[in-house]
């Protein structure tokens, strides 16, 4: 199998980067604020800037990892931001969480989601 030389060079090149900053979070958290670096397959700078802003919107403060059981089988939620609602745990109004992992329970016992939640 042969590959076009320009395409091969592009595949072997260094990844492009874009930087997004949240001045309000930096002012609020000072030296406790963190820098993160996330690699993705996004190919265009404009799309990367949009993704960086989306991630900043999600990460303005402390985050917690939680494990929650939901009805149904939902492996497809891994890597998605979903809104969860429940009668307890502060979820009554609905909270957006990022699904880190999903473990389906045998039969139709539901799915244990490992999620990242804003505090």
Residues in contact with 17: Cβ distance below 8 Å, sequence separation at least 6, in sequence order: 48
User: Could you tell me if 81 and 96 are in contact, meaning their C-beta atoms sit under 8 angstroms apart?
Assistant: yes
Categorize the per-residue pLDDT at 65 as very low, low, confident or very high, splitting at 50, 70 and 90. very high
Question: According to DSSP H, which parts of the chain are helical?
Answer: 5-12, 23-29, 45-58
pLDDT value at residue 54: 80
Cα separation, 16 vs 5, whole angstroms? 19
Fill in the DSSP letter of residue 20.
-
pTM given for the model:
0.57
* Rama region for 30: left / alpha / beta (φ>0; ψ in -120 to 50; rest): left
Structure tokens at 14: 């260094």
Mean pLDDT for 14-39 is: 78
Mean pLDDT for 26-39 is: 77
Residues in the chain: 119
Categorize the per-residue pLDDT at 110 as very low, low, confident or very high, splitting at 50, 70 and 90. very high
Fill in the DSSP letter of residue 93.
T
76 has pLDDT over 90: yes
């Amino acid at each position: 199998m042969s590959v076009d030389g320009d395409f091969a060079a592009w595949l072997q090149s260094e990844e492009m980067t874009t930087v997004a900053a949240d001045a309000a979070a930096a002012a609020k958290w000072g030296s406790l604020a963190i820098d993160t670096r996330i690699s993705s397959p996004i190919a265009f700078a404009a799309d990367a800037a949009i993704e960086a802003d989306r991630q900043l919107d999600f990460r303005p403060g402390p985050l917690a990892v939680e494990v929650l059981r939901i009805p149904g089988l939902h492996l497809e939620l891994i890597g998605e931001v979903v809104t969860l609602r429940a009668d307890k745990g502060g979820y009554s109004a609905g909270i957006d969480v990022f699904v880190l992992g999903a473990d389906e329970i045998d039969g139709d016992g539901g799915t244990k989601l490992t999620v990242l939640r804003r505090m």
